[in-house]
Structure 1
Amino acid sequence: MPLQIRRGRCTSFLRENLLTMLTVIGVVAGTLLGWGLRATGYEWSRREVMYFQYPGELFLRMLKCLIVPLLVSSIVSAIGSLDLSLSGKNVFPENIAQATIATYRTKLIYDKNDTKAIKGHLDTYKIEGDYQSGSNVLGLVCFSIVLGITLGKMGEKSRPLQNFFHCLSEAMMIITGWVIWISPLGVFFLVTAKIMEIESFQELIGRLGLYFMTVLLGLFLHGFGTLSILFILTTKKLPCRYIAKMGQVMATAFGTASSSATMPITIGCCDDMGLDPRITRFVIPIGATINMDGTALYEAVAAIFIAQLRKVEMSFGKIVAVSVTATAASIGAAGIPQAGLVTMVMVLDTVNLPAEDVSIILAVDWLLDRFRTTINVVCDALGAIIVTSLSQGDIEKSRAVQNDRELAPAHELTELEKGDH
């Protein structure tokens, strides 16, 4: 009997964690293959590296194509079903259809003919704006929140549209379940290609070694120190049990370096942990958009590191200014690989450092990007658990109201609706 129980437990464990183990194996195997191919001494061309990266890019595109329909349907469905009785121009897109394929970008242009323009001083540059390829996630989130609140206020009249978004959200999660089974293979090729692209291991380990370890130490202390303390204080539970169930999420985040691409998998993981779908479908998309704590920490450390290289004195006031700017800039960072480099320009300008100095940390940014993305998505999931814990009373009350509506005769529904208002 004990032997049968052990076999049953082993079978159950493998069934529940097979995908996670395969994804971790994909990361490790990709790293080993990348090192092995570099060790051959052959100089791999960009085209050859592209061939290795191609399957991984297909996987990444599959995940990205789910972002817009899943984000909009999840938020609208979550907010629209609630009992309502209980950073910039991208927030308000001028064209909601355009927001699905393009995002607004402010450009600082140095004009040689402008006598007031000083090269390296961003405050003297000309300000222009244009649109670049990529979904305006922040604008879509704001629109979805407003639409969800509107549907919730409309009551029974909005039921058909609520059912549509609910069905769309469920359909996207089913498709996500199919796509994530490709993640071990996709992550394997993405990691292999990145290892092959490294130009100099000497520079990676030498000059940038201490900077690299400082960022990793900061991310580790934040992820398993600060976040864990906040989690324990709010939920009165240890986070270890929940973090252990996020292996698939962390492995995918590390492989793709994109919190937006990992969002469907994060939502699925939270659903598997038994969290209320209304909370996960609201917290996770917003977290993947504006909650970039790992990126904020990385940008602050990077700015201080570059300042030290340039022999720029950093007073306490400047360090505080860098930290605040990094936090604000990270909110506007897109959830795509190496998006933090774009907002780093704003942080460097805080201590009057030239934007070109971003190139100093490029050698290790691709790897640090994966670690900070992992921290970002873990924080999103832990945040959803915290919100669920704090909202437990409202969740039970909302379920009781929903049960009353389902059991009430048709003529009593009108009275229930009036009572909500």
Structure 2
Amino acid sequence: MSQAFRILASLVIGLLLGIALAKWAPEAGAVALLFTKRIGGAWLHGLQMVIVPLVVALLVIGIAASAEAARAGKIAARALGAFVVILWVNTLLSAFLTPLLLRLFPLPAAWGDALRASLSKAATAGQVPSLGDFFDKIVPTNIVDAAATDSFLPLTVFALVFAFAITRLRAERRKTLIDFFQAIADAMIVVIGWVLVLAPVGVFCLAFGLGMETGAAAFGALAHYIAIVSSLGLLVLLSAYPLAAIGARVGVGRFARAVLPSQVVAISTSSSLASLPAMLRSSEAVGAPASVSGVVLPIAVAVFRATSPAMNLAVALYVAMLTGTHIGPGQLAAGVATAAITTMGSVSLPGTISFFASVAPVAVAMGVPLEALGLLVAVETVPDLFRTVGNVTMDVAVAATISARSGGGADGETDRALEEIPG
């Protein structure tokens, strides 16, 4: 039984047991709720404690890796430029489309009211910024205070500047610092792995409380959440087809046939890294030679997650809707900036591991409570499929576009760049 299945099963069992006790034995359920809320909260805190060091370490590693790749030649630099543009465009689209989808397909009022009542006691994730606060506090005056108060946007800006500063150091000092942050990231991922071993217990406890307090509304709300967030991943996936048609001058039908094998591998593995060999073949099928795709795709797998900022922001906006958190221009700007920037430091790991580390900074920056994330990680398996397939499809589209815009990559500089990229 996979870990994702165990977590999902714990969610369902916890909800069903909570619903049953609320209906037939409410007194016994109330006593059990006193214990399950504390256990679930402790598990959630275990996930929260690694966010700051992990996000900072991954940002430093991601930016440093991007800078190193850019030095490899024009092909790598063009690819990185395309990645940054796509990430910001997708994030801005999510900021517009997610509220629109929530208005067009709202959560039924009864479900929403029940969930808001159960989550109303959750502490907010941080100070909710106004638009003025966004500009006043985007540059931190005290990085230690920013880390201590979970002020993720200024913390992210500092990590970004610090990472670029590292790239200007001499090679041996640069390697020392990158190895240091890599070790921190590796250790934090180990800690997350340990905490997720207890995920079935933590999710069961959180789900039990939700079932006790909301009844069957929880199932409908989770299905609604999956549909809304997965829709953002699907939109990013579909946008890869016109990108290939316009940018690479490849017919939509030809591109669809070429990328299909990579999508099948992505669905079966839920990993962009495992899909890399198939992506190389798909890129060749649409006219991108190995001298180009062999540069673009490894960099894409390392630092580019086309769907992540859009879907991470969508999760935060959905939780804001669930908890009744007002999202004004300042909160939305903070969420967009945090989602777009932190994506460059995301890790190529299964969704149950990377979900909390990816979404929590966005939620914290917007002042959205984190309590619901402990439940949503249990159903991340479905959105994670859209994440992976969307990422793989966009990677191939970008490789084909870079190839077409650089004359097929036949120049000697591209060949030298290929030799300098590990793997």
TM-score of the aligned structures, taking structure 1 as reference length: 0.47
Larger Rg: 1
Query: Whose RCO is larger (CA < 8 A, sep 6+)?
Result: 2
